Structure 1
Amino acid sequence: MGRRQLDSRQTWSINVNPDTTGGRVWARTDCSFDGSDGGSCQTGDCDGLRTPPNTLVEFALNQFQNMDFIDISLVDGFNVPMDFSPTSGDCRGIRCAADINGQCPAELRAPGGCNNPCTVFKTDEYCCTSGSCGPTNYSMFFKNDCPHAYSYPKDDATSTFTCPGGTN
């Protein structure tokens, strides 16, 4: 899809090819690039690799029962507020607009963002690497500030939103 620099409160309309089945969008912050487009960022990515912490939007198009699925994920932490909204169709947008960085627990703070506890502690309790896991105090911190967002890997029931297939 490409890259685009957005200043605070700017928007970007993403137009995807009709045969696209899904994608991910995340923000990079405090980037420096050289003349050949190589560089580094404090949060986000370079060369296609997401570097935590980062706020992530995911979409899956024309999936189960011809529905489009959208979500905002804080599973890799948080770096900037995000809003993901359809431009047509009968469904609502989702957003995570809280000041999570300003309220981030000290043990999760990172330059430019707020890490997810899995990134920091690397335990099954926070990473959900076994068959079952549930919310923790840290995931509840994210969920309280951004109720539409995934706060841990198994947070499907309150974090995945659908639109009729073909929604723009």
Structure 2
Amino acid sequence: MEYLRTLPILLLLLSLFTSSYAATFEVRNNCPYTVWAASTPVGGGRRLDRGQTWRITAPAGTKMARIWGRTNCKFDSSGRGSCQTGDCGGVLQCTGWGKPPNTLAEYALNQFGNLDFFDISLVDGFNIPMRFAPTKAGANKCRAVSCTANINGQCPAALKVPGGCNNPCTTFGGQQYCCTNGPCGPTDFSRFFKTRCPDAYSYPQDDPTSLFNCPAGSTDFTVTFCP
């Protein structure tokens, strides 16, 4: 019966070990308007009025994850409705990705090399200024990244849509802009985004200057709309 006395201790240690590799994301709305935050594959969605925050805990191994803001939304009491930008199938609680244009905070936890990877992406376009920051930032690639330029106000006419600045793949299609069939390079449209937000992805293969990392389990993160 000795194992019965030690089982609670073992379960506690296992719980502490497991939770230590989870990461908490504090999502804050500093915009002067309401943002309906979205998060997949964990989190779902939450209305954030100015100054409000939302905490999301993602377990180790979470990947292909993204957090974004939706604007000009209307939902009924059952959580069904629509948003002008970032809409995810007409529901408050997102389970899929948002409809462009939407500024994205992307992350993957405890991946290759025991690292947490994170980035801001404009590959789906831009709707809200954003800052994505580790709470215990270090040197090199473990640091805050942001995109705070007036992209909506300066958006090229061909990409401008109500509430945001769309991406060229959604607008025009084709390998040059979508990079779906092999290598591709920057375009005049991606350079528009990159010049204004050099830390952010401007096209799908913009990895060298846009992907950041921290040692897995070493930090939590904040995502701020309108920093």
TM-score (ref. length: structure 1): 0.92
Quote the residue 1:143 is aligned against: 194
The alignment status of 1:58 with 2:106, answered yes or no, reads yes
* Bigger strand fraction: 2
1:86–1:45 CA distance, 2 compared to 1 (3 A): same
Alignment of 1:129-140 (within 5 A): 129-140=180-191
The alignment status of 1:70 with 2:118, answered yes or no, reads yes
Cα displacement (A) at 1:150: 0.5
Cα shift readout 1:96-152 (whole Å, capped 9, x = no counterpart): 111100000001001100011111111211111221110000000000111111000
1: distance between equivalents of 2:191 and 2:86? 23
Larger radius of gyration: 2
1:63–1:49 CA distance, 2 compared to 1 (3 A): closer
Over aligned residue pairs, what C-alpha RMSD do you find? 1.6
Aligned 8 A contact 1:89 1:164 in 2: no
1:92–1:161 CA distance, 2 compared to 1 (3 A): same
Matched to 2:179, the amino acid is: C
Aligned 8 A contact 2:61 2:111 in 1: no
Aligned 8 A contact 2:119 2:210 in 1: yes
Cα displacement (A) at 1:4: 2.5
Aligned 8 A contact 2:160 2:166 in 1: yes
Quote the residue 1:87 is aligned against: 135
Q: State the secondary structure of the residue aligned to 2:47.
A: coil
Matched to 2:80, the amino acid is: G
1:81–1:60 CA distance, 2 compared to 1 (3 A): same
1:102–1:131 CA distance, 2 compared to 1 (3 A): same
Alignment of 1:37-48 (within 5 A): 37-47=79-89, 48=96
1: distance between equivalents of 2:68 and 2:196? 19
Matched to 1:101, the amino acid is: N
| Aligned residue pairs, count | 167
The alignment status of 1:120 with 2:141, answered yes or no, reads no
Aligned 8 A contact 2:120 2:145 in 1: yes
Matched to 2:84, the amino acid is: Q
Q: State the secondary structure of the residue aligned to 1:15.
A: strand
Where does structure 1 lack aligned partners over 5 or more consecutive residues? none
1: distance between equivalents of 2:83 and 2:67? 16
Aligned 8 A contact 1:56 1:74 in 2: yes
Aligned 8 A contact 1:29 1:112 in 2: yes
Identical aligned residues as a percent: 63
